[in-house]
């Protein structure tokens, strides 16, 4: 009953005219960002983040969340029509989606993708709505030792499941934590690594880092491999799927929803992985596995649903624990903190209008996406025809405006350029830069939790074990490490002893 | 677009990257040991950075050792340094230097003009027109619709 009342209050916030407007702007911009190759949800969020500073917190978060799940919708359009993923989570959709388009069935692929995304996204928000309040009640009882242990678990998990090698991922995590120490120390006021510069007294600009590492570096990478895109153009009439299409895709949508909801909750596991798992499952369960890769509709329905089903549940670690599970949610975290809202277990109690307003807007936004996306597919196709030679400078200009508005200072532009070059080189060397950004945002919170724990315990490290919740998290950490070590050892044995003669 | 590529082995790039990291870490270490370390029940500002620098150095040493002892395993090539990339970066540097001096319209107008011309290989006139229209459109959008204050430079007199 409380949940229903709270949700009703949330709708009263989300249905305010300006908030509906910002929701529409967010989902449209998110879709555009998802459609355009080279601009992912993170760059799309980082580009608009500075422009939300003047908005009230509800509107800002509603718009940014709209960009987040809108980009997941948009990515499938380019995957299906051009065979180029609009964003990383739509890679797998290229396989069967484009094959369907080549056979003149782009319409059903787009419709099933949109419907599956709507269903997965809506269920995901439902899970967020039901579980987040319960989890936050539980987390209100934990103190700094458990907070520290939980964040360490999140970072270790991120390091072990990162997309590049474990060493490289951990290097990025440690580098991010180090970057997070730049500025005035929160506890003692000592200036660390500022070299007398006032620009970094509050720490490195997160917006400049995010835009540099993801926006500018992506543009630099794409400038190397530009080609004119020739998308397939479906007509509005051809969008209608058959009854068989809907019947075949329904179970895939159901399974994709479960997979996406589960994967979204775990920090560090990318939403990209949920799409691969969904595709593999559909292929395994299908009566016609040999047809996968040649235009099976389940190969589109499952992954796209899983992709969108991560959006709601990935907000659970962010809103309840204050831990961004993927880089895009790190931007949301940054936005909340800029507006003076500390995400964590107290968020639902201290700012119920923000939490429930966001939930309600996500229901509305998911519906707007499925209603707008299909009629506007022609517009999005035309966007794909804009030569990248025009898009790239435009994105650079928007990025510059974005970082400049943070402090009206050219220093931010320099920072963005430096991180742009760094991101470009790191990605060339197969480093995943996402953990670096996540670690930056978690760094000072981990440090604060650690130092507070030692202050509380008067220097006794056993506080991390004596605290029940901290001990649980540390046990989880030990289990994860043991499992990983076992996997490595088995891999090592297989590699080195595979050819040994047992006699 | 103009394409000119620089190709090198991935391990060579990494072998130049990691030693630079170690040098940087050595400097950070020097800065850190001059920070207050506090006491065990009140850790100072230098504790956390020090705890991060040490594993980072170890990882760097491990990686360099691996790269030097596994020359045959890592044969991937990396392509770097397209001319368009240099232009984009030079443009960013130019923007950082000139934005406050010349203002948004002039600085971005010049940037868009040069990049449109080079990236799309269209004529000077078309590039100039498109750049002018784009920058004016962006100015109106940001200044009047979004409410962001942009530097005007010498155009402030207008």
Residues spanned by the domain of B96: 82-157
Neighbouring CB atoms inside 10 A of B156's CB total 8
* Tens-digit pLDDT profile for residues B86-142: 888 899 999 999 999 999 999 999 999 999 999 888 899 999 999 999 999 999 988
Q: Positive or negative CA dihedral for A356, A358, A359, A360?
A: positive
B1: in domain: no
Chain B interface test: which of A171, A179, A205, A397 (most B C-beta within 10 Å) = A397
Kindly state whether A447 is in contact with chain B, defined as any CB-CB distance less than 8 angstroms.
Answer: yes
Nearest to B1 among A178, A389, A396 (CB): A389
The SS3 call for residue A214 is: helix
Same domain for B99 and B67: no
Mean pLDDT per 10-residue run, chain A (503 residues)? 83 88 88 78 79 84 88 82 73 85 86 91 92 82 85 84 79 94 89 89 87 86 67 63 86 93 76 84 88 88 91 88 82 85 85 88 88 79 80 89 84 92 90 86 88 90 87 88 84 58 44
Q: Quick one: pLDDT at residue B133?
A: 95
Q: What is the rounded CA–CA span in Å between residue B99 and residue A407?
A: 14
Count the domains in chain B.
2
Q: Give me the DSSP letters along B97-155.
A: HHHHHHHHHHHHHHHHHHHHHHHH---HHHHHHHHHHHHHHHHHIIIIII------GGG
Classify A142 in phi/psi space as left (phi over 0), alpha (psi -120 to 50) or beta: beta
Residues B71 and B109 in one domain: no
Same domain, B19 and B71: yes
* Stretch (H or E) spanning A24: helix A17-35
Residues B107 and B131 both lie in one domain? yes
Report H helices in A180-242. Answer: 206-210, 217-223
Same domain, B22 and B66: yes
pLDDT at B109: 95
B72 and B91 housed in the same domain = no
Give the model's pLDDT for residue A503: 42
Distance between CA A177 and CA B129 in Å, rounded? Answer: 46
Segment B35-74, tens digit of pLDDT: 999 888 888 999 999 999 999 999 999 999 988 888 776 5
Pick the more confident residue, B11 or A168: A168
Percent helix, strand, coil in chain A (nearest 5)? 75, 0, 25
How much is the pLDDT for B5? 67
User: How far apart are alpha carbons A205 and A404 in whole angstroms?
Assistant: 11
- pLDDT for B53: 95
Q: Which phi and psi angles does B43 have, rounded to 5°? A: -60, 140
| A447 closest CA partner among A170, A137, A179, A201 | A179
A83: which DSSP letter? S
* B13/A428 CB distance under 8 A: yes
CB A174 within 8 A of CB B59: yes
pLDDT attached to residue B75:
62
Which residue is closest to A183 within chain B, CA to CA? B45
* A388 interface with B at CB cutoff 8 Å: yes
Task: Please check whether residue B96 lies inside any domain of the structure.
Answer: yes
CA distance A183 to A186: 9
A451 touches chain B (CB under 8 A): yes
- Min CA distance, B156 vs chain A (Å)? 16
Same domain, B59 and B101: no
Q: What is the pLDDT of residue A257?
A: 94
Which of B18, B53, B78 is the endpoint of a domain? B78
B28 touches chain A (CB under 8 A): yes
Give yes or no: residues B138 and B118 share one domain: yes
Enumerate residues 6+ apart whose C-beta is below 8 A from A261: A120, A123, A124, A127, A309, A310, A312, A313
> What is the distance between the alpha carbons of residues A174 and A446, in angstroms, rounded to a whole number?
12
Whether B92 and A413 lie within 8 Å, measured CB to CB: yes
Q: Which residues 345-384 in chain A show a CB within 8 A of chain B?
A: none
Are the Cβ atoms of A447 and B91 closer than 8 angstroms?
Answer: no
Most B-contacting residue of A168, A195, A389 (CB-CB within 10 A), to test interface: A389
pLDDT score of A163? 64
- The minimum CA-CA distance between A406 and chain B, rounded to whole Å, is 10
Asked if A192 is an interface residue toward chain B (Cβ–Cβ < 8 A), one would say yes
Alpha helix (H) residue ranges in A180-326 = 206-210, 217-223, 243-265, 271-285, 298-313, 315-316
pLDDT at B158 > cutoff 70: no
Residues B91 and B147 in one domain: yes
A residues 252-271 lying closer than 8 A (beta carbon) to B: none
On whether both B128 and B69 belong to a single domain, the answer is no
pTM: 0.84
Is the same domain home to B141 and B95? yes
End-of-domain residue from the set B55, B78, B101? B78
Residues B64 and B90 in one domain: no
Enumerate residues 6+ apart whose C-beta is below 8 A from A466: A145
Model pLDDT for residues A225-250, shown as the tens digit of each residue: 655 555 566 565 666 778 888 888 99
């Amino acid at each position: 009953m409380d949940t229903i009342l709270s949700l009703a209050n949330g709708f009263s916030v989300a249905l305010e005219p300006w908030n509906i407007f910002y929701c529409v702007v967010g989902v449209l911009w998110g879709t555009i960002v998802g459609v355009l190759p080279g601009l992912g949800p993170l760059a799309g969020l980082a580009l608009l983040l500075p422009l939300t500073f003047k908005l009230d917190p509800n509107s800002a978060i509603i718009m940014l969340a709209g960009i987040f799940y809108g980009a997941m919708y948009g990515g499938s359009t380019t995957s299906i029509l051009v065979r180029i993923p609009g964003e990383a989570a739509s890679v797998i959709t290229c396989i069967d989606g484009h094959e369907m388009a080549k056979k003149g069935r782009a319409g059903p692929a787009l419709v099933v993708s949109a419907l599956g995304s709507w269903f997965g996204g809506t269920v995901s928000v439902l899970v967020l709505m039901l579980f987040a309040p319960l989890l936050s009640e539980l987390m209100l009882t934990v103190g700094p030792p458990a907070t520290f242990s939980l964040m360490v678990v999140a970072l270790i998990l991120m390091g072990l499941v990162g997309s590049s090698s474990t060493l490289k991922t951990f290097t990025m995590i440690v580098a991010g934590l180090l970057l997070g120490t730049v500025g005035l120390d929160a506890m003692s006021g000592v200036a660390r690594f500022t070299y007398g510069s006032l620009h970094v007294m509050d720490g490195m600009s997160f917006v400049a880092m995010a835009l540099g590492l993801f926006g500018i570096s992506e543009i630099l990478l794409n400038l190397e491999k530009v080609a004119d895109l020739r998308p397939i153009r479906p007509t509005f009439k051809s969008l209608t799927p058959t009854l068989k299409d809907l019947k075949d895709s329904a179970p895939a949508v159901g399974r994709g929803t479960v997979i996406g909801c589960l994967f979204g909750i775990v920090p560090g596991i990318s939403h990209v992985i949920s799409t691969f798992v969904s595709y593999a499952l559909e292929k395994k369960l299908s009566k016609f596995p040999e047809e996968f890769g040649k235009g099976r509709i389940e190969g589109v329905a499952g992954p796209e649903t899983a992709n969108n089903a991560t959006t709601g549940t990935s907000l659970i670690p962010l809103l309840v624990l204050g831990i961004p599970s993927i880089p895009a949610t790190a931007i949301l975290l940054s936005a909340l903190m800029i507006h003076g809202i500390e995400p964590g277990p107290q968020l639902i109690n201290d700012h119920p209008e923000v939490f429930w307003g966001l939930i309600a807007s996500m229901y509305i936004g998911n519906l707007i996406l499925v209603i707008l996306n299909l009629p506007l597919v022609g517009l999005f196709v035309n966007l794909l025809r804009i030569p990248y030679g025009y898009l790239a400078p435009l994105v650079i200009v928007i990025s510059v405006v974005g970082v400049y508005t943070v402090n009206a200072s050219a220093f931010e532009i320099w920072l963005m350029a430096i991180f742009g070059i760094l991101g470009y080189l790191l990605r060339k060397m197969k480093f995943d830069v996402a953990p670096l950004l996540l670690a930056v945002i978690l760094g000072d919170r981990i440090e604060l939790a650690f130092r507070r724990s030692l202050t509380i315990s008067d220097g006794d490290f056993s506080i991390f074990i004596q605290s029940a919740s901290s001990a649980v998290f540390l046990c989880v950490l030990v289990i994860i490490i043991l499992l990983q070590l076992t996997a490595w050892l088995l891999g090592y044995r297989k590699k080195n002893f595979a050819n040994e003669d047992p006699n | 677009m103009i394409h000119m590529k620089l190709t090198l082995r991935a391990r060579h790039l990494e072998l130049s990257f990691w030693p630079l990291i170690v040098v940087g870490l050595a400097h950070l270490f020097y800065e850190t040991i001059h920070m207050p370390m506090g006491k065990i029940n009140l850790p100072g500002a230098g504790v956390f950075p020090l705890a991060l620098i040490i594993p980072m150095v170890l990882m760097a040493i491990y990686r360099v050792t691996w790269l030097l002892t596994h020359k045959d395993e890592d044969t991937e090539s990396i392509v770097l340094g397209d001319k368009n990339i240099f232009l984009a970066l030079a443009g960013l540097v130019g923007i950082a230097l000139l934005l406050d001096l010349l203002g948004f319209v002039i600085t971005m107008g010049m940037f868009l003009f040069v990049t449109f011309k080079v990236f799309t290989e269209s004529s000077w006139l078309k590039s100039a027109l498109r750049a002018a229209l784009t920058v004016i459109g962006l100015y109106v959008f940001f200044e009047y619709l979004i409410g962001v204050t942009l530097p005007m430079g010498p155009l402030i007199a207008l």
